[in-house]
Chains A and B, each alone.
Chain A
Amino acid sequence: MIGRFLGSRGWRRFRRGRLAMASLAVIGVYFVAAVAVTLGAVSREDTKMRVGPNRLPGFLERINAEKRYDFNKWYVGELSGVFGRAQRAGDEAAAREMLGAFALAERRMSGAAPSELFPVYETMEKAWGELDDALAMREDLADERFVLRAEAAEQRASGADASATEARLREVEERLSEIRPRVEELYREVERAIEVLLPMPEGLRGLVYRLRIGLGTDSKGASISSQAVYSVKIAFQVGFVTALLAVLIGTILGASAAFFGGWVDHVVLWVVSTLSSIPYLVLMAVFVYVFQAPSLAKWFDNPDRPGLGLVPLYAAFGLTFWIGTCRVIRGEVMKIKELEYVQAATALGFGRFSILLRHIIPNTAHIMFINFSLLFIGAIKSEVILTFLGLGVKGQPSWGIMISHGADGVTNFFFWEVGAATVFMFVLVLAFNIVSDALQDAFDPKHV
């Protein structure tokens, strides 16, 4: 059937569209990524592992003063924890082991002997203490300057003698300008020490680590890029399984309803109109609710069988989405079954099932492909919505999880988590949208 589909005139027309072929290539890239994730390129541990401080911005954003303080504070805090424990261990080998256990993915503690590292750690601690003091003093001075400026302006306005205030103001300004380079110097010192203790990995491992933190980290310090890539697999699983399920159910029921007519048609139509009279989001939510029953939890909510965690979602989407396909296929088969070649096949004595399977259903292939592509998009988008509502994916990263977690970050001006999920999803959905439009144009030119 696929072979015949690929040889058809519509497919040749489809292939001429450059945009559509480019979109198909994009979908191919995503598919390769999904396969790679399935083969273990990005494991679920990769998406949970801490790779840096919380909410580290991605590669393009410059780190402002406030964040610089926070991130350095985090490094200093983590390092002082590790080094404190190592110092208490006393024994050199035990200290080495403790230091070696600390790692942010590929970024590990320097391999030098602990006796060399301790002095570096101590200078870092000292510099950090001084930095804290300097920052506090800078804040005090800035406050004082603000007050003095207001006072001086007031005195000048009232004609009183402002020289004493102005002298004090000058002094404050001078001390402020002294403290600024000092703060910068202390920051450099702390950062140098961190770099010595936790050197950026080199070569391939360095590249991997840079990719991990390339899009920043989430509120638990886990890599956003790993999560976004891992979610490609989830999106393909949800999209592929549900679209396939829905197209299969829809085609079989729609075609048999139209072809056999009679009570089959009545029953199918009744089921279709019943299901389509419940708003689809409500229907999906109720199906998910039913399939997440506690009695089913030992299958679908079991950490030993993570592959089955998505079954409630597959079932809910599959059982909801087939309705539209069923309607369209039923209409098309109604038309096809009156055509001459079907009459010819009947006259030649073929059975009804073989006519349906060999001659009618293959001729609805283009509708199946268009619907598959549309339902794929529908599934990906619905996953995000249901996950946000607390009824979708659980326990593994998905774009829905990323967007709903990242929504808190947005109010703190941290856009990387939502942004990464949005862009990854947008490109895939756009590609599918373009492909389904092009398929529609190529196979059904009369339809506008």
Chain B
Amino acid sequence: MWAYVIRKLVYNIPVYLGIILLTMAALRVRDPVAGYLGKNATQSQIDRLTEDMGLDDPFIVQYGRFLWQIVRFDFSEESWAQPGRSVRSILIDSIPPSMSITLPQVAASAMIAMVIALISAYFRGRLVDRVLVFLAVLGMSISYLVYIVFGQFFGAFLPQHLDLKVQPFAIQGYLPWLTEPRNWLTYCLLPVMIGVIVALGFDTRFYRAVMVEESSRDYIVTATAKGASKPKIMFVHMLKNAMIPIITRIMATLPFLITGSILLEVYFNIPGMGRQLITALVANDFPVIQAFVSVLALLFILSIILTDVLYALVDPRVRLS
């Protein structure tokens, strides 16, 4: 097992080096200093900022230095667009808000989609199944942004406008959960729900496909032959085996949710990683962009490795190949 983990880690090192190379090269294609300071900057301003960031060194030196920064997690340079804050503090402050909408979203969407997929697979080929599949396709055809716009309107704006007694959701904003857990809940609930609804379409179809494929396996035939009831086959025999691809899928969506929540974070004004990255892109905040892309990619790779390892744990065949 450990050999497998180490093999995975070693395999991903060149991939990560490539990402850093690509990111750094891409961000240097357009001159970051000139882009940030604009047309009216004097030459001395440009020179000073270039020197501060070490952008005048040869690329290979910058590459090595940045790698060393990542290894020590030392992003102590100052952000350009948010003076007085180091990149590191921006990064650390933005992780909890992102996680508080990402994690509940993954858990809830996986559970609900699994239930719907089970129902759909149980009634396979009949009206219920066909309606559910069609609804999933319908849901997939609507833009994420439209869900957000109308979700905010009907979930938060309309109750406030009509002055209803129950106003469970805030229109936008965020408060840390440690100090104000109740407000945190009202802020996070609506984005999480919207995210879950958006994810349902694709997830349901995927899980249903997995279950339908599983239901044509030999062991199901055996179970039917020995006289097991259909619910028992579905929930005991099949669900266990279907869990393997489902867990993979859930793990595989984790990193995507970091980005999937960019839109939610921007729209609901939640100071998470996605929003910080977009703000930095719009404001040409070069140090923040570079650090965020590298850290996001690192998280992404780590979660992929974790997926592979979990997969290998539940399915021993993978390890040996």
Contacts and interface: CB of A to CB of B under 8 A. Distances in A.
Interface in A277-303: 277-282, 285-287, 289-290, 293-296
A109 interface: no
B42 interface: no
A279 B304 contact: no
A389 interface: yes
Contact of A286 (B23, B35, B266): B23
A45 B223 CA distance: 68
B258 A277 contact: no
Interface residues on B, range: 35 or more
Interface stretch (A8-16, A121-129, A336-344, A425-433): A425-433
Contacts of A425: 143
Given A384-B145, A448-B209, A448-B213, A437 B137 contact: yes
A448 B212 contact: yes
Contact of B143 (A290, A294, A403, A437): A403
15 contacts: A273-B15, A279-B259, A282-B262, A285-B278, A384-B144, A385-B145, A388-B145, A388-B267, A390-B278, A418-B146, A422-B142, A422-B146, A426-B141, A433-B140, A433-B141
B23 to A, nearest CB: 7
Interface of B: 12, 14-16, 18-19, 22-23, 26-27, 29-31, 34-35, 137-138, 140-146, 149-150, 153, 157, 209, 212-213, 255-256, 258-260, 262-263, 266-267, 277-278, 281-282, 289, 293, 296-297, 300-301, 304
- Secondary structure type dominating chain B contacts: helix
A64 interface: no
B278 A278 contact: no
Nearest to B262: A281
Contacts of B35: 293-294
Contact of A277 (B19, B281, B289): B19
A381 interface: yes
Interface stretch (A29-37, A85-93, A404-412): A404-412
A274 B142 contact: no
A434 B137 CA distance: 8
B213 to A, nearest CB: 5
A429 B304 CA distance: 30
B304 A277 contact: yes
Contacts of A258: none
Nearest to B212: A448
B142 A426 contact: yes
B30 A294 contact: yes
Given A278-B19, A278-B293, A281-B262, A290 B277 contact: no
Interface residues of A, number: 45
B258 A279 contact: yes
A227 to B, nearest CB: 16
A320 B282 CA distance: 20
B30 A295 contact: yes
A56 interface: no
Contacts of A418: 146, 149-150
A296 B296 CA distance: 27
Nearest to A422: B146
Nearest to A288: B281
Contacts of B260: 281
The 8 closest A-B pairs by CB, nearest first: A293-B30, A274-B18, A279-B259, A281-B259, A430-B141, A429-B141, A448-B209, A384-B143
A443 B151 CA distance: 38
B22 A274 contact: yes
A146 interface: no
Nearest to B144: A385
A391 interface: yes
Contacts of A274: 15, 18-19, 22
